[in-house]
Amino acid sequence: MQALVDALKAEALSIGTCESLTGGMFASELTSVPGVSAVFKGGFVTYWNTCKIDVVHVSAETIDKYGVVSAPTAIEMAEKSRLLLECGCCISFTGNAGPDVLEGKPAGLVYSAVAFDDAVYVYKLQLSGERNALRHQVCEVMKEILRQLVGSRHAADFEKQHQRLIENLGIMEYNAYIKSVKEQNHG
């Protein structure tokens, strides 16, 4: 986490979290780093759907249509929490830690999104293992992704570097949504 905190400081970028599957684990690991208060604004643990809807304003329609374990839900969690916390970037985690199937989706299916003012990146992972090991694994994977996003997302060869990293980390699917200037100015 130290490398991530250093990258956030170097970019003068604040961060927030919105966690369901990980139950605050990412924020806890982040706050174990001395000096993180210079960049960490806070976070939400929205384990129940009503918390996602009532606290961070994820659309009930999104959850009804796609399920809580979905890319659209992860995107809304990250974007809306970023706005609420007024931070430069926000990471979200939603998924099924198991052991049972949830919404017809297998244990180990995870979606994580990272929202900036100009773009949202969303990742789909299919992990295996016992639930706490799985939660720790997704935090580790996304720590590396986030560190690269913060440190080099505006670099000319970013897409090539990023593709190589996500392949090495075993990410199943990755999408980037670049916001228009109008969307950046009006949320």
pLDDT digits (tens, 9 = 90+) for 113-156: 999 988 899 999 999 999 999 999 999 999 999 999 998 877 88
In the chain, how many domains are there?
A: 1
pLDDT at 184: 47
- CB contact at 8 A, 184 and 115: no
Where residue 62 sits, what CATH number does that domain have? Answer: 3.90.950.20
Residue 135 lies in domain = 2-186
pTM score = 0.91
Residues 6+ apart with CB under 8 A from 62: 70, 72, 73, 76
- 62-85 mean pLDDT: 97
Element of type H or E holding 29? helix 25-30
